[in-house]
Amino acid sequence: MNVGVLGCGVIAHRYVEGAVGFPSFDIVACADVDEQAGRAFAEKHKLPLEPVHTLIADPDIEVVLNLTPPAAHASLVAATLDAGKHAYTEKPLAISVDAGRALLTQANESSMRIGCAPDTFLGAAYEAARRAIERGDIGVPIGADATMLTGGPEGWHPNADFFYRQGGGPLLDIGPYYLAAMVALLGRVEAASGFASTPTLERVLETGPRAGERFGSEVPTHVAAALRFASGALGTLTVSFEARGRYESGLVVQGTEGALSLPDANGFGGDVQIRRAGGDWQSLHYDAQPELETRGLGLHEMIESVLAGRPHRASGELALHVLETMHAVLRSAEDGRTAVVA
């Protein structure tokens, strides 16, 4: 299928460079509200640059890949569906649960697909873990504990302020990697409790043309959550933009007969470790597919699923469930009560 890219920023380079490995789609055009950013990107990747709404309406484009900041996701996905095209968007699906639900209703009514990042849980490492759980290698899963601690993106991202606006913060920005993986491994979340804080009130952009600009955070920058899955398993998730100079990612699935330790859910590949009963940790063998393990795997899987007439996995439904779970955590942090995920 022919794919048009909306939003020519940091992550768009990774998608366009990775696209060569995927036989199911070609990126054929790009668009950006910032003409300068669009022109530089179009020249670098030798792509035609189109105005945003021309690209969405372009009859040669069958799927719109939305790589804009979170605040633009819902309106651009809605416009894409309205134009009779499939949409694949970066996470989060939308800023609010209501906006996410409206998108799914629109997609169902128009028989168009919505796919949504992350897609790292589709990589060989997480798939190997999923098969190990299904085989019963760790017994019955009883829980999962995930941690992702960083100092925030202002040290390396030229527009890092959007990560601190509604739709951002460590929970809505990096939470989706861990929550999508946990849901893929353990099933749906039915209730959540959370605590959230904002220890650093003001940030400074450290790189790019806007370096030195100061901004405040609209969203909590340190969040700890407890989750109850519909299966009865229990989980924890701690995500932070307050761990200056650090990058710590962990996800361990506990079972009645052992445990699995998974690699960074914010990327592809890495070591999957398994520990059975009282034994030592050992690497779980799996065959990697490096040419397919890059951002774009979820889009590839969506297009192949459209062509085969089957449901796709990095789906709008999964992304909505992840969004509902994250908002349940934030709701609980505000009112001090466990929140039902619905």
Chain contacts with ligand NAD (rule: CB under 6 A) = 6-12, 31-34, 37, 52, 67-70, 72, 76, 90-91, 157, 159, 173
Residue nearer to ligand NAD on the CB measure, 146 or 284:
146
Q: Which helix (H) or strand (E) holds 155?
A: none
- The per-residue b/e assignment along 258-274, b for 16 or more CB within 10 angstroms, e otherwise, is bbbbbbbbbbbbbebbb
Return the structure tokens found at 135: 């085989």
Residue nearer to ligand NAD on the CB measure, 70 or 258:
70
CB of 31 to ligand NAD, least distance (A): 6
Residue nearer to ligand NAD on the CB measure, 157 or 165:
157
CB of 6 to ligand NAD, least distance (A): 5
Residue nearer to ligand NAD on the CB measure, 91 or 313:
91
Residue in the shown chain whose Cβ atom is closest to ligand NAD: 9
User: How far is the C-alpha of 183 from the C-alpha of 196, rounded, in Å?
Assistant: 22
CB of 13 to ligand NAD, least distance (A): 8
Residue with tokens 């919505």: 114
SS3 290: coil
Residue nearer to ligand NAD on the CB measure, 34 or 82:
34
Residue type, 71: A
SS3 214: strand
SS3 235: strand
SS3 174: helix
* 313: number of Cβ within 10 Å: 18
CB of 310 to ligand NAD, least distance (A): 26
Residues 6+ apart with CB under 8 A from 108: none
Compute the radius of gyration of the chain from its Cα atoms.
Answer: 20
Residue nearer to ligand NAD on the CB measure, 138 or 329:
329
CB of 183 to ligand NAD, least distance (A): 18
CB of 316 to ligand NAD, least distance (A): 15
Residue nearer to ligand NAD on the CB measure, 115 or 141:
115
Residue type, 55: L
CB of 45 to ligand NAD, least distance (A): 14
End-to-end C-alpha distance for the chain, whole angstroms: 34
141 forms bridges with which residues in the sheet? Answer: 255
CB of 174 to ligand NAD, least distance (A): 9
Give the torsion sign (CA, 66, 71, 77, 79): negative
Residue nearer to ligand NAD on the CB measure, 7 or 152:
7
